[in-house]
Amino acid sequence: MHAAIPTPTLSQIAIGPLTVHFYALCIIAGIAIAIWLGDKRLSLYGESAGIDLKGVVSEVSVIAIPAGIIGGRIYHVITSPDAYFGSDGNLLAIFKIWKGGLGIWGAIALGVLGAYFSYQRLGRQMQLPSFKIFLDALAPGILFAQAIGRFGNWFNAELFGRPLNAWWALEIPYKFRPSGYGLIETFHPTFLYEAIWSTLLAAILLKFGSRWTAGSIFYFYIAGYSLVRFFIEGMRIDPAHTLNGLRVNQWMSILIFAMGLALFVHNQRGKRDHITRET
């Protein structure tokens, strides 16, 4: 066997009466970076427009983050019902988020909805730019958060891909291997593929996004992420519902890629109003 990426032997640590799960720490770290970068980018836009926007992202996140987590969990439960409602399912497991299971599409949908209502409420108290500008400020940070969050899957030894015999393969302990793969030791590290692509896409947005019209950064984010997620999803071997030979998440990737690309192209014809080049 080639040298391979090992799966961490620990996924949690006890601190007194508390149990700290590394999956949760990855999610929290990603959220912190997303808020910090989003606030920095929006504040710089505010400076160029003569508006004080410091703290707006933090204020909106009070509603948006819980909404995103709830949305992500709801999407996961709906698309993986057997684990919770099947004959061997466990309803109480729905609340065990630290064990993994946050669907990105549900998180984005409900998170954006929560952010919109919070942003509109805040807008009645102070002068704010368009919600598109706000989403553009957030998009790169969200991608960095997704990249960090995927390492939580690494700690949990979950969501890996098909068998792979290469130096970058992920070594999976026997107890975490799916049925029928007991004698296979290494698999595609899909968590790493997605983390790398999310980081590269964030860098693209930071480099070129300042040239685009308001809203285009966010639209390019959802389109670009969906494009690669389609292929990564096709590598995975964890149980999932399929439709006409494709996993449900692949169909969602196709739908959101098409929608994001169409919105990006249409939006580029709009008025020039964008995040400043310094961000």
Residue 117 lies in a domain: yes
Exposed, middle or buried, 168 (CB in 10 Å: 0-12/13-18/19+)? middle
- The pLDDT tens digits for 9-65 are 999 998 888 888 999 999 999 999 999 999 999 999 999 888 999 999 999 999 999
Considering Cα of 127, then 129, then 131, then 137, what sign does the dihedral take?
negative
Domain count, the chain: 1
- CA–chain centroid gap for 93, Å, is 21
pLDDT at residue 70 is higher than 50 = yes
Residue 274's pLDDT band (cuts 50, 70, 90): low
Please state the rounded mean pLDDT for residues 90-103: 78
Q: pLDDT at position 115, please?
A: 97
Closest residue by Cα to residue 270 from 136, 119, 123: 136
CA distances from 27 to 33, 144, 151, 152, 193 (A): 10, 11, 9, 7, 18
Residue 278 lies in a domain: no
Residue 165 lies in a domain: yes
Q: pLDDT at position 239, please?
A: 84
Residue 231 lies in a domain: yes
- The pLDDT tens digits for 178-225 are 999 999 999 999 999 999 999 999 999 999 999 999 999 999 999 999
Residue 276 lies in a domain: no
- The pLDDT tens digits for 117-166 are 999 999 999 999 999 999 999 999 999 999 999 999 999 999 999 999 99
Residue 91's pLDDT band (cuts 50, 70, 90): confident
pTM: 0.91
Half-sphere exposure of 175 (CA within 13 A, CB side): 3
Domain that holds residue 20: 5-267
Residue 274 lies in a domain: no
